[in-house]
Every structure is written in structure tokens, then in C-alpha cells.
Chain A
Amino acid sequence: MLKNLNIWFLSSLIVSLIVLIPILTVFSSFFDETSNYYQILKDTFLFEYISNSLILLFFVLIFTFFIGTGTAYLVSFFEFPLSNFFKWALILSFAVPPYIYAYSLTAFFENYGTAFTILKNLFGDANYNENIPKLDGMFGAILSITFSLYAYVYILARASFLYQSQNLIDLGKNLGFSKFKSFYKVILPSARPAIIAGLSLVAMETLAEFGAVDFFSINTLTTGIYNSWITFDDLAFANRISSFLLLFIFSLFIIENLSRKKAKYHFNSRGGLKQKNKTKLYGSKSFLAFIFCFFILFLSFLFPLSQMLYWTLKFPENLFDLQIIELFSNTLYLVLLSGLLLIVFSLISNYGNRVSKNKALNFLSTLSISGYAIPGVILAIAFITFIAWFDNNIIKSLGFISIKKFFIGSILGLVLVYFIRFYSLAFNGIKSGYEKINISVDESAYLLGYSKRKTFMNIHVPFLRNSLLFIIILISLEIIRELPITLILRPFNFETFATTAYISASEDLLEAAAVPSLFLILIASLFIIVSSKYILRENNE
């Protein structure tokens, strides 16, 4: 018995330690000397970093809130043309990472861009450039992040609306509220935890966003960390900004966790269990609902997709230059390897938590899910710093050969850092699956003479199958889109769709970035379509 416990404990301990490495690295250099960059920066840039991060956060939260809850409300409570299609089509925006959205915006709106071409073809030659809004800089970054991330709010809000008891809705009606008022007074407040959970995910991703923000050269805390590390060799200061950013993100993380707990409570309170009736919309109302959803689908998904498609067709030579099969197999390789590791370890940890009910173990698991809150750039930097330190100070002094090659610029290092970043996705996913299996099921199994292993294999795993599938898809999506970690840690001659797109774009070859971007969007869409029923949680309960 005790021996068994130790295995769970040990594996949880290892996972937690691995995940804690970057965090400890960041905080340990908090008091290091910084170079005079700090002085220059303090005078001019630090304020800009913070205010840019806050401006970005503020507008992205407002926009994702309105778009996410607005669309969720429409498709959950009303019937209008294509409402069933929009229900899942709206999550396709997940397939377009912010940096690809940024490329599309630039391609379309820049001087002599696609918008110019369209106007010229429609109305003949003229200088349209002055009249085409330039959606770049801060505004471009806000749009890119908003349209890529609103689906977090949409999915969670919709799930919450779906399980809202009909009684609550009837209550609004009985009180004589108008539709808007009952939405505002009854529906929205009871979905609040879910919406806040969605918004805090958006907030974390926004603060951690690198690709789009870097593309529009907006200096935020995250790009500031990268720059002070890269340009000024000031790791100490990079880490100091990181600690600042991390404190910020952790508070969001806690908010998210708390509201998720509440959200769960709401999901389960399906009071009345009455089948909810969707209101059928007619006439202009139905048209407006349709237009709103279509507009959002168009802006978030169809627009970047068609811009990338247009460029691929306009500059077809780029299509033939790309090693599509190799890029695809590289991506798949990373997905499979990381997926397998993540699933195995989070299953072990979760099962360990379940059978041991050990407080310390529980605490360790909670720690180990913090990786998701840390921007990929910081994780990668901290990982390299740690390996270099460990190698120079410990491995070498013990007389062993350098381990750097095994961890920096290797698949192993890459997958390890993915593991740190996405462990919480896997862990939480399996955890919520486990919570649906009542503990009495285990007890009955033991009474029937099942061993722990048999209980796990024959009872838990089949029960968890849907959760596992969903998690694999989620991890795949994340890894397909992942940029900074892959960029910094990948081995020689190893590219993914994301890195190929980014590198072309950074060399001002946006049209060459279109092909890998297009493939990335298509593959991610495929994953989303396959898994939409899990994401939308309808058959899951």
C-alpha cells in the first residue's frame, strides 16, 4: 500500500519539479544585478510595456465578452437560419492563431494591399490608399487577438446557457421582463462564472501573446521580456519583468480556477430538467441574428482563410517550394509525442490523487498546472537558462559530459517544454472526467475483487475515453499553433507550419507565409470539426 502511494507521489513530484523549473528560474534572478538597460528602460519603456499590455487586455476583454456572449446567447436561445451551423462553425476561429490573423489584416489593408486591388478592379485607377484604414499597430493586435480568442468565451458561455434551467428563463418571463432585460438580469448573471472563466483564459493568452504583438511591433510586457533578454543580454531584467507579469497572470489564474469551480456548480444545477425551448425568430430579427453570427464567422475565420487562399493562388510558386509532407509529419510527430506524455502523466497524477487522497500530493498537482499561465517565450528562455546553469555548475563539476545537446535544440527539450506549458490542459481535462465517476464506483469495484490496476484499466479508462479524446484534440490544436517555444528550441532542419509561416513573415515575405498559414488553418479546422461535439459538450454529460 505504502509502496503504491510512493509511485504516485514520486511521479507527481517529478512532474511538479519539471514544471516548477522555469518559475523558480525566473524568480531566482529577481535580485540579480541588471545592466544599465534597466535605467534606459525605466525612463521610457517600462511604462509603455505596462500600459500597452493593459490597453491590449482591456479592449480584447471587452470585445471577446460582447462577441462571445452575444453569439452564444443567439445560438443557445433562438432558432434562425443556419443557427445550428453557426453553433459549431463559430469555434472554427480557433484554427486561426493571432499571428496569422495579423498577417491577413496587413495583407488586406496595407498600402497597395488586397483592399486596394479590389477597389482598383471595381472602380479603376485612383489612389485609394488614403481612404483604406490601416488596421495595424495596437488596433490590429487587438483585432487579431479578439477574433482568435473569443471562442473561449463563446464555448463556456454557451455551455452555461445550455444547462441553465428553463425555470430561470421562465422566471424572467413571469416577471414580465423583456427578452433583453431577462438576458441582462437573469441569464447573464447566472452564467457569470462561466463567462469569467472564459475571459480569464482570454486574458492569460492575451498577456502571453507573442506572434501578433511582435509582428505589429507593440511593446508589451511579454515582448519586452523577450527584447531585454535578446537585445540587451539582460536576463536578470527579463526575469524581473517576467516575475511582474507572472504575478499578474497568477491572479488571473486564481480567478479562473475559482470561477471554474462555481461554473461547474452551475453546469450541474439543471433544475427542473425541462427541455429548453428555443424561440424561433422571424423577419428582421431573424435576419439580424443571422447577419451578426455570419459577420463574426466571416471576420474571424472566412476572412483570414480567404486572404491566405488568395495569396496562395496569386503566388503559386510558394506552394511548390514548401515541403508540405515533411512539415505535416513534423507537426504530427510533436503532437503525438507530447500528447502521449501528457496523457500518461496526467492520468497517473489524477489516479494517484484519487486513490491516495494525500494532501501533499494534491498540493503538488495544483502547482504543476501553473505552466499554462506562463507565456511560451518565458518558458523557453527559462528552460535554456536552467539547462545551461545546471550543466555548467552541476553536470560538469561532477565530470560528466555536457547535457546541453540533449535538451537545447532537441526534440526532447521541445517536448519537455510543451509538456510544462500544456500539462494543465491534460491534467484538468482528466480531472473533470474523473469527477464524473463517483468514488463509490471504485469501492464497488474493490468489493467485487478488482485490483487497483484492473479498476483503472477496466473502469476508469473506458469512462474517461471521451475526455481523453477531447484532451488530445485540444493539445493538438495548441501544438499546431504554438510558435515561440518551437521557434527557440527546435533542432536543426526541423520546421513546422507555424515556424515556416513566422519566418517568412519576419523576412517581409508575407505572401510566402500564406501557404504554411493556409495549411495550418485547414489542419486545425479539421481537428475542430472532428471534435466539435466534444468541445460543445452536448453528448458529454
Chain B
Amino acid sequence: MKKISSLFLIATLFVSTFAVANEVNVFNARHYKADAELYSKFTSMTGIKVNLINGKSGALEKRIIEEGADSSADLYITADAGRCGAMDAKGHLQGGLTSAAIKAAVPKSFRTSKWVGIAKRARIIYYSPERVTGAELSGMSYEGLADPKWKGRLVIRKSSNIYNKSLVASLIENNGKKATAEWAKGVVANMARDSKGNDRAQIMAVAAGEADIAVANTYYLALMLSGKKGAEQQEAAKKVKAFFPNQNGRGTHMNVSCAALVKGAPNKDNAVKLVEFLLTPQSQEHFTNNTFEFPMIDGVSPSPLVVNNLGLDFQQDMKTKLASYGKNQAAALEVMTAAGWK
């Protein structure tokens, strides 16, 4: 009898509450503290509870896929357009992010009906002003990273990194797969070391003299300059300068953090409301000041740290559709892998 009652006790421990509530379920691959603050602001404004499951994007996507039509996910928020595009291609998203507010806020090439960009970042070149001359950089493009003059001077993350995959996907979109395959070989030949570490580590490698140029996203330098990473990294950040490539052509490669509407979302309306909220000037300002991304909407300026140190008046690539990042993702990885990019 005792056994039965203890088994019953165990069973009751498992039963979680399945009460229907006014909520929205977010599979969240962006783990900035600032985001959590925004979500609680949303809850206090609308009364809609934001349920979060944090994780790396790959694992979250898998869960959405395996749960299929029964998935509890409403929104999938992640830091790369390629990921949203890939989820779309696999048929796990649905249309619905088409409200007037969304359409008015986000430029066309940065959204589809199934996912929209909520904040922008550029993937740019960082260089050491001591060791790289203006002449060397003049007219520099992503394509130019394969130029033999950079032999032994370049650092960039691993090929498995999604930002690199999206960058290479955009090159494939613009230059074709064959040319990009050659390009990847040139890049690998120029590397100062085997790829390792995150974006910030690439910038620090330039600061520390391990390499002369690095490829990394814009917000990392601002983060280091902000002092949030400590005085040493602040000092280090001052030793590198930012350069926006492809200014003479299509513009600098842009990427977004995106919010995607999951197929079968149980709280679709609330999901749309949350996306609209993230695109309000108030939320956008919160992003720019805390994560140092570029705002998605007009009328909000980036953090002063970004403006003063990276410059604002650069030409963004508005031509290449962000949807192509997802489409060319597999080809991008194939090209990098074949070139021996670690």
C-alpha cells in the first residue's frame, strides 16, 4: 500500500499545469539580458505572458521539427536570417507576419510573410591601423579577403559558424558557387591560424598582434568598448579600427536577428503582437543601447558607441535578399569545407 501511495506521490510530482493562459511561447536563441527585460515589459503592457525556452538555435529548431504540428512554439527568435530562411525552406513556418505595423517598420528585403528582421548587424572587417595601411584597404571588399596580399594576416571564425555561412551564402548569391569556391580557398590560404574562438576573439587577435585583419560582427567592438567586458578589453578594442567592405559595390553584408512564426503556433495572434512590440521605437532603442545592433526601423539611431566608433554613413547591402542566406546555406558550408576551412 505504501508503495502505491508513494508511486502516486511521484506521479503527482510530474503533472505540470496545462492550464490555458494568455501567453506566447518563444523558442529563443538570443540570450541577451536586454531581451528578457523587453519581454517582461511586453507582459506588463499587454498581460500576455512570455514563456521562454532558451537554447542554441540548432537544438531549438530540432525540437520544433520533431514536435511537428503539435509544437507548442509560437515564435522562433534567433540571431541569423539564414536560420529563419532554413526553417522556412523545411516548411516549419507559416505566413501571418503581414500586419500593417510590421510592413511599415521593416524594409522588404529584410522580411518575408513568415519571418521578419528585428535588429540588424553588419559583418565587417576589423584591422590594426598600425599594421594595415589605408592604401591596402582602399576599395576593400569581401571578395578581396582572398587576395594573396593578406597571406598569414587574416583571422575569421570556423566554417560551422552561422554568421560565416550567411556571409558565404550571400557571396554565392552574388558571384556564383564556383567563384565562391575559389574564393574560399584563397581565404583559407590567407589565415594567420586555424579558425578558432568567437567573433570577439578574432578582434582581440588583431589587437594582440596575432593577425592584421579580422572578420566579425559590428556589435562586438561596441560591446568591448562599452567596458562591460572589463578595462582590458576596452583598451584592446581601441587598438583596432572598423572597415565597411564593398562600399563601391553592393554595400556591406547585412544580417538580422529574426523572429519567425512557427507552423501550428497555438498563440498566433499573441506572437504577432510580440513581433510588433519588438519593432516599436521603444524596443528598438532598447536593442541598440544594450546589444549594440543596428535598429531595424527608421527614426531610431544606433548606440553612440556604434556611431562614434564604427561610423553610420556606410552603404548597407539592401539588394541581396536575406532569404538567400537560408537557401544557399548548405552550398556555403560545402564550399568552405571543401576549401579546408576548419
Closest to B206 in A: A111
Asked if A409 lies at the interface with its beta carbon under 8 angstroms from chain B, I say yes
A493 / chain B contacts, CB cutoff of 8 Å: 51-53
List CB contacts (< 8 Å) of B182-219 with chain A.
194, 196-201, 204-205, 207-210
Query: How many B residues touch A, CB cutoff 8 Å?
Result: 58
Most-contacted residue by chain A among B51, B54, B65, B209 (CB, 10 A): B54
Judge whether B201 and A111 touch: CB under 8 Å: yes
B53:A490 contact, CB within 8 angstroms: yes
- Contacting residues, chain B, for A45 (C-beta < 8 A): 337
Answer yes or no: B282 CB below 8 A from chain A CBs.
no
Whether, in the assembled complex, B68 has its beta carbon less than 8 Å from a beta carbon of chain A, the answer is yes
Query: Which one, A136, A411, A504, A507, contacts B197 given CB within 8 A?
Result: A136
A231 pairs with B208, CB closer than 8 A: no
CA of A410 to CA of B17, assembled, Å: 11
Out of A129, A321, A490, A492, name the residue touching B33 (CB < 8 Å): A321
Take A111-B205, A217-B160, A491-B53 as given contacts and tell me if A508 and B200 are in contact as well, using a CB distance cutoff of 8 Å.
yes
Task: Give the residue name and chain of the B residue nearest to A507 (CB).
Answer: B31
| Cβ distance B293 to chain A, nearest Cβ, rounded Å | 13
Q: Is A40 an interface residue (CB 8 A)?
A: yes
**A110–B205 Cα gap in the complex (Å)?**
9
* A404 with B67: CB separation less than 8 A: yes
A-B contact count (CB 8 A): 142
B63 at the interface (CB under 8 A from A): yes
- CB-defined contacts of B196 to chain A, threshold 8 Å: 136-137, 216-217
Query: How many Å lie between the Cα of A227 and that of B56 in the bound state?
Result: 12
B246 at the A interface (CB under 8 A):
no
A379 within 8 A of B: no
Docked complex: B16-43 residues within 8 A CB-CB of A: 16, 18, 25, 30-33
**Is B62 in the interface zone, CB < 8 Å from A?**
yes
Contact: B72 with A504, CB < 8 Å?
Answer: no
The answer, among A127, A381, A408, for a CB contact under 8 Å with B67, is A408
CA distance A120 to B33 in the complex (A): 31
Question: Which of B16, B59, B330 is the one whose CB lies under 8 Å from A411?
Answer: B16
Inter-chain CA distance A412–B12, complex, in Å, is 11
Q: Which residues of B contact A111 (CB under 8 A)?
A: 201, 204-205, 207-208, 210, 236
Stretch binding the partner chain, chosen from B131-139, B140-148, B227-235, B298-306: B227-235
Task: Report which residue of B6, B25, B59, B220 has the largest number of chain A beta carbons within 10 angstroms of its beta carbon.
Answer: B59
Is B66 part of the contact surface with A, judged by Cβ < 8 Å?
yes
Q: Which partner residue on chain B sits nearest A216 by CB separation? A: B196
Q: Are A127 and B58 touching (Cβ within 8 A)?
A: no
Alpha-carbon gap, A431 to B75, bound state (A): 48
Q: How far is B192's CA from A356's CA once the two chains are assembled, in angstroms?
A: 67
The answer, yes or no, to whether A191 is at the interface (CB within 8 Å) is no
The reply to whether A409 and B53 form a contact with Cβ atoms under 8 Å apart is yes
Chain A nearest CB from B286 CB (Å) reads: 16
Contact B53 A492 (CB under 8 A): yes
Are the C-beta atoms of A408 and B66 separated by less than 8 Å? yes
Task: List residues of chain A with CB within 8 A of the CB of B204.
Answer: 110-112
A410 B16 Cβ-Cβ under 8 A: yes
The interface residues of chain B lying within 8 Å CB-to-CB of A504 are 31
- Rounded to whole Å, the gap between the CB of A124 and the closest CB of chain B is 13
Residues from chain B with a CB closer than 8 A to the CB of A217 are: 158, 160, 196
User: Is B63 within 8 A of A409, CB to CB?
Assistant: yes
Is B95 engaged at the interface, CB distance under 8 Å to the other chain?
no
Contact B201–A388 (Cβ < 8 Å): no
Tell me the complex Cα distance, A229–B58, Å. Answer: 9
Instruction: From known contacts A40-B334, A384-B66, infer whether A409 and B72 are also in contact, taking CB-CB under 8 Å.
Output: yes
Residues of chain B lying within 8 A (CB to CB) of residue A388 = 66-68
A441 to chain B minimum Cβ distance, whole angstroms, is 23
Complex: A45 Cα to B200 Cα, angstroms: 26
A231 and B61 alpha carbons, distance in the complex (Å): 10
Q: How far is the CA of A314 from the CA of B6 in the complex (A)?
A: 47
With A136-B197, A408-B66, A412-B14 given, is the CB distance from A44 to B337 under 8 Å? yes
Q: Which residues of B contact A435 (CB under 8 A)?
A: none
- Considering only CB atoms, which chain A residue lies closest to B230 in the complex? A314
Contacting A at CB under 8 A, from B63-78, are: 63, 65-68, 70, 72
Q: Are B33 and A112 in contact (CB under 8 A)?
A: no
Assess the B340–A411 pair: CB atoms within 8 A: no
Q: CA separation between A45 and B338, bound complex, in Å?
A: 10
A residues within 8 A CB of B30? 507
Q: Find the A residue at minimum CB distance from B3.
A: A344
Kindly list chain B residues whose C-beta atoms are within 8 Å of the C-beta of A315.
Answer: 228, 230
Whether B10 sits at the interface, judged by CB under 8 Å, is yes
The answer to whether A511 touches B229, judged by C-beta atoms less than 8 angstroms apart, is: yes
Do B59 and A227 have beta carbons less than 8 Å apart?
no
> From B30, which residue of chain A is reached at the shortest CB distance?
A507
Interface string of A211-255 (1 = CB under 8 A from B): 000001100000000110111110000000000000000000000
Partner of B232, one of A117, A232, A409, A415: A117
> Chain A 495-531, CB within 8 Å of chain B: the 1/0 string?
1000100011011110110000000000000000000
Besides A129-B210, A227-B160, A504-B31, 19 other CB < 8 A contacts?
A45-B337, A110-B197, A111-B207, A111-B210, A112-B207, A112-B232, A112-B236, A116-B232, A129-B208, A137-B194, A385-B66, A409-B63, A409-B67, A409-B72, A488-B55, A492-B52, A493-B51, A494-B53, A508-B200
- 27 A-B Cβ contacts within 8 A? A111-B204, A111-B205, A111-B208, A112-B233, A112-B236, A127-B209, A129-B209, A136-B196, A217-B196, A227-B58, A321-B33, A344-B6, A384-B63, A388-B68, A391-B70, A408-B66, A491-B16, A492-B53, A492-B72, A493-B52, A493-B53, A494-B53, A495-B54, A507-B30, A507-B31, A508-B200, A511-B229
Using a CB–CB cutoff of 8 Å, the interface residues on chain B facing chain A are 6, 10, 13-14, 16, 18, 25, 30-33, 51-56, 58-59, 61-63, 65-68, 70, 72, 90, 158, 160, 194, 196-201, 204-205, 207-210, 220, 228-230, 232-233, 235-236, 330, 333-334, 337-338, 340
